[in-house]
Amino acid sequence: MEIGTVLPQLEIGHDPETIADYAQRVEASGYEHVLAYDHVLGVNPDREGWDGPYDYESTFHEPLTTFSYLAGRTDELSVMTGILVLPQRQTALVAKQAAQLDRFTDGRFRMGVGVGWNEPEYVALGEDFSRRGNRIEEQVEVLRRLWTDDLVDFDGEFHEIPDAGIRPLPVQQPIPLWMGGMADPVKRRVARIADGWLPQFQPGDEAEDHLADLYEYAEDAGRDPDDIGLGGRMYAVPGEEDEWIERAQAWRDIGADSLSISTMYQGLEGEDHTAHVERVAAVLAETGLL
């Protein structure tokens, strides 16, 4: 099981050097990847009917450009979005940006995507929130074609590409596409078209039920469930070393291919996150997990 970290973007601050130092020390500690998630816009929390976890004061470093910066500041570290809200973005532009990032990282990029939940963000970006599920399925097809074909001639419900292509193509052709979310339509979509799944559960009875659904849907779609990767996420609460080991082991036991360790929401600030993930790495290394 590959172990990495979640970029503590909400709490690490705005200084590029602090972010680069974090990634370099994560890599030096033995982690294999850094994961980041995505919001383009935050709204006013006083907006009528608003009930979201983030607002306009929440810092989200744009993942594709941030990872391009970190590609030049690290050597072997992989990067992953978990997730990029794909239906609110222009598909061909995402294909171009992702291909460039895959070049910068020498093929060490996985793109986790999802439909999101923030309707005002969709409105501001000029996309239809109500059709996001249909749109993402067509986007996956378009992305894979743009990443593998010299020229693409496509006429779909949401996209029209008149015999055109991108350069450079990515190192990985195509770039692995994972999906986040746990609603039943999402699980069915993962089973049919995704390379991997990024659920929000933790190991236990709920996880077993969701995984049973996924395996059933994959078999119904004519796919081997083992061909669909599983990516977990866990919080590392300071001082709870035994819990870190138990949770990481539990993810490995249920067949996770990757695990991302988050240090956010633990009262840490700035460089404290770096010191903490180094401590977690040392503990996991002692047990052979890292």
State pLDDT tens for residues 129-186.
999 999 999 999 999 999 999 999 999 999 999 999 999 999 999 999 999 999 999 9
What is each CA distance from 148 to 97, 151, 152, 176, in whole angstroms? 15, 9, 9, 12
Sequence ranges of the domains in the chain:
2-286
- Residue 68 near residue 36 (C-beta atoms within 8 A): no
Strand pairing report for 109-114 and 78-85: parallel
User: Per-residue pLDDT for 200 more than 90?
Assistant: yes
User: Per-residue pLDDT for 51 more than 90?
Assistant: no
User: Per-residue pLDDT for 52 more than 90?
Assistant: no
Q: Which residue has the tokens 């894979």?
A: 144
45: CB partners within 8 A, 6+ apart? 52, 55, 56
Tell me the C-alpha distance between 52 and 43, whole Å: 9
User: Per-residue pLDDT for 47 more than 90?
Assistant: no
Tell me the C-alpha distance between 82 and 102, whole Å: 16
Count Cβ atoms within 10 A of the Cβ of residue 35 and give its class: 0-12 exposed, 13-18 middle, 19 or more buried.
buried
Give the tokens for residue 206: 């709920």
Residue 248, CB half-sphere, CA atoms under 13 Å: how many? 27
Amino acid at site 133: G
User: Per-residue pLDDT for 250 more than 90?
Assistant: yes
Query: Structurally, what CATH architecture does the domain formed by 2-286 represent?
Result: Alpha-Beta Barrel (3.20)
Q: What percent of the chain has pLDDT over 70?
A: 100
Give me the mean pLDDT over the 182-205 stretch: 96
**E strands within the chain?**
2-6, 33-36, 78-85, 109-114, 152-155, 160-164, 177-180, 196-198, 229-235, 258-262
What is each CA distance from 119 to 37, 193, 227, 271, in whole angstroms? 17, 25, 33, 33
State pLDDT tens for residues 19-32.
999 999 999 999 99
User: Per-residue pLDDT for 270 more than 90?
Assistant: no
User: Per-residue pLDDT for 50 more than 90?
Assistant: no
User: Per-residue pLDDT for 18 more than 90?
Assistant: yes
pLDDT on residue 40: 95
Give me the mean pLDDT over the 105-134 stretch: 96
Rg of the chain taking only CA atoms, in angstroms: 19
Give me the mean pLDDT over the 95-108 stretch: 98
